[in-house]
Structure formats: C-alpha cells, structure tokens
C-alpha cells in the first residue's frame, strides 16, 4: 500500500476533513463491533469526531455502510434504496477466478469473449482509455476499479505517482491489491460509493470510471457524473466507459430480432427483481443526448471503446467463417472513425474535460 495524504480525503457523510482515530475512539468503535467479532487497530475519524471509518487490510472503508457513530453524533439510516442495495450486494457477493494469473469476476465470460483470435481486439479495448487521459501526474483515480482484472487495466496508471483504487466492494479491492502487487504496482485503496466519493475537489490528474455508471439508478447517474468531474483538477479529463445497449444502432441492426428479445428480457428482469427482491444486477442505459444535456464539464466528446458486444461476437464471429477478418475490419473502422463508432457501437468512452 502507498502512504496516503489525508488532505485529499473527506468524510462522505459530513464532507469534513479526516484524521486518524485516537486509541479512545478506536476502543469506542470496537466496542460497537463486538457483535460481529471484528476488531480494528486503525481507523479514520471526521473533524467533529462523530463518525469512525475502519481501515481493514490497508483498505480505507469510507463507504457510509461501514461508518460507526461515535458519541455526540446524530444517527442516520443506513437503509439503502432497493436498486442501490442490490448493486451493493451483488458486487460484495460475487466470486472470482483466475485468468492469466489475474483475479477476474466470475461473470466475466458473460460480457467478454476470450477466444484467442479475438484477444488482440479485446485487449486493445482494455487499454483504449489511456489515449484520452493525461499520461502522467500525481493522482490517477480509478473509480469502480473492481479487481483491476487485466494487465492492460494495470498499465493505464503508468506515469502517475499514485493510483487511487475506489470500489464499492471490499472483496474487489482485496483482489485489486493482489493483482497490482503481482505487477509491482502499489495503490491507495478506498471502499466508497460513486455517488459520494470521499475525495476532495480537484485532486485528480486523471479520472477513470469503467462499466459502472450504468449500474447506478437512472435518476442518480447525473449525480455520479458530477462526482467524477468534481474530483478532477481543472483542465483535466474524465473518461467514462458506458454501454448504450438499445441506443446502439450498430447492434440493433446487426442483432435484429435477437436484440428485441434482449430488450424484452431486460425489462422483464427488472420487474422480476423488484417483485421478488432479488439481487439481480441493476442496469440502465441512457443515450448520447442525455450525456450532452447533463454534461457538468467544459467539453464532452464521445469515442469508441469497443463497438461490439458478446452477443454479436458469438453469433457472427467464428474463426472458420472469417471472424478474424470481420473483427479486424470493425477495429479499422473504430480507429478511422472513433467518434462515429462511439455513437453507433455498443461501448463508448465519454470524455469530459473539466
């Protein structure tokens, strides 16, 4: 773990500065945790001394779920709205498996085609965001970093003094520690909510958020974008990898009736999860015009991260039937027309300049 400058942090509940807890505050916090048999030997406390945040295995637990009320504070509800609760549960319960020496999500194969002839295209997508962000600086903030699953993801922070890994899941951050250590890269690890990032305004030289914003409830996604922009330094850029889903004209045309089936199944799944209170992963995709209307930065541009989804590749891309040539042609179009393919394809990179 890299040492952390506490001046870059703020309390997610009160927005006050944070300091290390005293022994008395540690004892009070631990006495409240006796029921769960957890004992902390370090933690952070807000300026008013009313909220304690544990440090667990070098992870700063600054999600309000882990906050412990100290004497003098005012209790508030930890109850999350259903859609936010199921996102929290899903990513804290998901398992991991090994891929090329890295810990990756167990459900990765549901979204990524790992067939060898497609890997060059897939790996290029993993590294694609780097060209749109600063190449060096002090803080590279990776919001919703997950386990930092692939070697290309690790390389994204090359040139920065500190990589700040932020995620909603403690387990994901433990996997991220392992993956980064395997490549000799240190990091600062913070368990936090995208909607209330415990970071000061303007501290980041680059901000990345991949495949996470669409898991935020639709009416709160603008708040999430605002948080990502808030922590960036003036003049710096934020890259958001998103999923257009049925806003992707390329996938709508290429998948035809199957895309209609996917859309119907998606909305049926929403109803099922809500009625039966299942931890089915929440997902909502806004279209390009929504981002243009809700841009909190100075400038917003859209580029291609990857134009095709797993359904396209499984249906159309087969090595014996010229699949390698097809994907190389799509790749060539993405390089030649990144803005156009970013709007038409499945996965865009939304780049906002603060």
CA distance 343 to 334: 11
Contact 192, 261 (CB under 8 A): no
Residue 260: DSSP 8-state: H
Nearest to residue 231, comparing CAs of 19, 47, 10, 48? 10
Enumerate the β-bridge partners of residue 56.
59
CA distance 326 to 319: 10
The pLDDT of residue 77: 61
293-323, pLDDT tens digit by residue? 999 999 999 999 999 999 999 999 999 999 9
Contact 168, 87 (CB under 8 A): yes
Assign 99 a pLDDT band (cuts: 50, 70, 90): confident
Q: Indicate whether 54 pLDDT > 80.
A: yes
Q: What does the longest C-alpha to C-alpha distance in the chain come to?
A: 69
Q: Indicate whether 260 pLDDT > 80.
A: yes
The number of beta carbons lying within 10 Å of the beta carbon of residue 175 is 22
Q: Indicate whether 79 pLDDT > 90.
A: no
- Alpha helices by DSSP H, the chain: 23-32, 82-93, 119-127, 151-155, 170-182, 221-230, 249-255, 257-276, 288-293, 310-316, 323-336, 338-344
Handedness of CA 244, 248, 254, 258 (dihedral sign): positive
The fold adopted by the segment(s) 86-353 is Rossmann fold (3.40.50)
Q: Indicate whether 344 pLDDT > 70.
A: yes
pTM: 0.94
Nearest to residue 24, comparing CAs of 72, 70, 74? 70
203-250, pLDDT tens digit by residue? 999 999 999 999 999 999 999 999 999 999 999 999 999 999 999 999
What crossing angle do the helices spanning 323-336 and 119-127 adopt, rounded to 10°?
20
């Amino acid at each position: 773990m890299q040492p952390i400058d506490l001046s870059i942090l703020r309390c997610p509940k009160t927005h006050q500065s944070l300091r290390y807890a005293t022994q008395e505050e540690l004892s009070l916090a631990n006495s409240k945790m006796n029921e769960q048999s957890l004992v902390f030997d370090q933690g952070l406390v807000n300026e008013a001394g009313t909220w304690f945040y544990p440090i667990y295995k070098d992870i700063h637990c600054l999600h309000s779920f882990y906050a412990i009320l100290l004497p003098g504070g005012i209790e508030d509800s930890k109850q999350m709205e259903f859609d936010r609760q199921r996102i929290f549960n899903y990513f804290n319960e998901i398992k991991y498996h090994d891929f090329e020496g890295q810990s990756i999500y167990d459900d990765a194969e549901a979204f990524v085609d790992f067939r060898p002839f497609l890997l060059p295209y897939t790996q290029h997508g993993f590294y694609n965001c780097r060209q749109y962000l600063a190449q060096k600086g002090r803080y590279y903030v990776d919001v919703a970093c997950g386990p930092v699953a692939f070697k290309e993801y690790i390389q994204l922070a090359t040139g920065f003094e500190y990589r700040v890994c932020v995620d909603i899941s403690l387990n994901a951050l433990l996997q991220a520690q392992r993956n980064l250590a395997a490549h000799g890269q240190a990091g600062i690890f913070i368990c936090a909510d995208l909607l209330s990032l415990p970071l000061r305004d303007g501290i980041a030289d680059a901000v990345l958020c991949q495949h996470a914003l669409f898991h935020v409830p639709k009416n709160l996604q603008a708040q999430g974008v605002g948080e990502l922009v808030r922590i960036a330094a003036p003049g710096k850029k934020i890259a958001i990898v998103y999923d257009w889903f049925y806003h992707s004209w390329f996938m709508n045309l290429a998948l035809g009736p199957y895309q209609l089936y996917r859309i119907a199944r998606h909305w049926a799944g929403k109803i099922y999860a809500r009625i039966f209170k299942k931890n089915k992963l929440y997902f909502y995709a806004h279209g390009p015009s929504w981002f243009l209307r809700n841009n909190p930065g100075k400038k917003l541009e859209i580029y291609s991260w990857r134009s095709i989804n797993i359904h396209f590749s499984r249906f159309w891309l087969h090595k014996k039937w010229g699949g390698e040539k097809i994907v190389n042609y799509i790749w060539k179009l993405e390089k030649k027309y990144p803005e156009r393919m970013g709007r038409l394809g499945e996965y865009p990179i939304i780049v906002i300049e603060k």
